[in-house]
Amino acid sequence: MTYPQHLAGLYDSMRRDLAADGQPAQLYTLTNQAGMTATLMDIGATWISCTLPVDDEHREVVLGCATLADFQQQSAYMGATVGRYANRLANGQFTIDGTAYQVAVNQAGNTLHGGPAGFHQRRWLVDELSDSHVVFALHSEDGDQGFPGQLSATVTFTLTDDNALTIHYDATCDKACPVNFTNHAYFNLAGAEQGSDCLSHTLTITADAFVPTNAVGIPLGEWKAVTGTGFDFQTPKTIGQDFLKDDEQQLAKGYDHAFVLSPSVTDGQTVAMQAVSPDQRITMAVMTTKPAVQLYTGNYLGGNPSRSGTYQAYQGFCLETEYLPDAPNHPEWPHQAILRTGERYQHNTTYQFTLA
């Protein structure tokens, strides 16, 4: 597989260091006829770069690091595939069919994004590879981070000629287990390394409810209507318009909350979210089969390594399609996130870019 010349520096710097297994990271760049690129790394099945042809330049719209050492140092999960359970599990505990489980904790006594040695740190194997798609595979043993069952997973990234990147998740497990994959890409459609924050992006989310949380992101149990709050993105507005307006936002230092998507937009084909760059040159539409999305505005991004220094807080936003945080501990909610023996976990999320 060849890669465009404008990515040569990234390939050189990212493969300079060694991973925990003593081998360098492997990078794979998907390209299309329009000139878009999406570069993936086997460590964490990570989306480390996304360039779009704007004004005869290659605009980088995904935040990332320059070296593997920096990637291993950063604490923001930049672009990584997150699992077994994305977002949070209260106290690292859940019960399935009367059996209580304790999994590894890594944030304020809770489990965040799969635990301290989650899938974002693993080397995924490449099952298939072409100029337009790559399939990463991972096997997770019974008891990995405390989770039950042997889990086998694949994540497929596919780039189309109309500038859409689709991420397809597929997994099975031989014991009932909470499973909730997401990709943790941070976007700045104005340019990831331009130094501007993300608050001037215009955002739409087709959701009429969000999930209030405590100070460390654990859901309080009740959903809340977005109408009349700063969480109402049902009609387009800038991220900054109602930024820090609500008590819930102030507690989290910005948006870091799950939105319950309207069932009418979770077929994987209908636009569920849309973001527009401040210069209106790039529109990113998001389609998904997941029931919810976590909007995170990089509230604690500050100090994490960038490609040219360090990022500041709010320099990128995430749209993490997912099951709701702590869902296994809320049986009263729909969208239960338990993968049972004999079932397959299959979900898609597509990021469709349109250039003006």
Residue 58 has pLDDT above 90, yes or no: yes
Percent of the chain residues past pLDDT 70, beyond the cut: 100
Would 268 be classed as within a structural domain? no
Q: According to the model, what pLDDT value does residue 32 have?
A: 97
Identify the bridge partners of residue 231 per DSSP, sorted by sequence position.
none
Which residues are the active-site residues?
Answer: 184, 320
Question: Does residue 87 have a known ligand-binding role?
Answer: yes
List the domain range (segments joined by +) for residue 140: 5-199+295-355
In a domain, residue 244? The reply is: no
Mean pLDDT of 50-56: 95
d(CA 335, CA 132): 32
Give the span between the Cα atoms of 121 and 77, in whole angstroms: 9
What tokens does 341 get? 């023996």
Q: What's the structural domain count of the chain?
A: 1
The answer to whether 183 is a known ligand-binding residue is no
CATH number of the domain within which 87 lies: 2.70.98.10
The answer to whether 184 is annotated as binding is: yes
Domain assignment present for 44: yes
Residue 336 has pLDDT above 90, yes or no: no
282-285: which pairs have CB atoms within 8 A and are 24 or more residues apart?
Answer: 282/52, 282/54, 282/59, 282/61, 282/189, 282/353, 282/354, 282/355, 282/356, 283/353, 283/354, 283/356, 284/61, 284/187, 284/189, 284/351, 284/352, 284/353, 284/354, 285/351, 285/352, 285/354
Write down the pLDDT at residue 2.
Answer: 79
Residue 242: inside a domain, yes or no? no
What pLDDT is stored for residue 335 in this prediction?
A: 86
Question: Which two three-digit tokens encode residue 35?
Answer: 């000139």
Residue 209 maps to a domain: no
Find out whether 70 is annotated in a ligand binding site. no
In this predicted structure, what is the pLDDT of residue 197?
A: 97
The answer to whether 256 is annotated as binding is yes
289: in domain: no
Q: How far apart are CA 81 and CA 177, in angstroms?
A: 18
107 secondary structure, DSSP code: B
Residue 281 lies in a domain: no
Which of 279, 262, 97 minimizes the C-alpha distance to 191?
279
pLDDT in tens, 191-214: 999 999 999 999 999 999 999 999
Task: Answer yes or no: is 338 within a domain.
Answer: yes
42 labelled binding-site residue? no
pLDDT tens for each residue of 77-87: 999 999 999 99
pLDDT band at 324 (very low <50, low <70, confident <90, very high): very high
**Half-sphere exposure in the Cβ direction for 82 (13 Å, CA):** 25
Give the predicted TM-score (pTM) of the model. Answer: 0.97
Whole-number pLDDT of residue 194: 92
Mean pLDDT along residues 133-146: 98
pLDDT at res. 309:
95
Lowest mean pLDDT among 101-105, 127-131, 277-281, 335-339: 335-339
The 10s digit of each residue's pLDDT in 59-96 is: 999 999 999 999 999 999 999 999 999 999 999 999 99
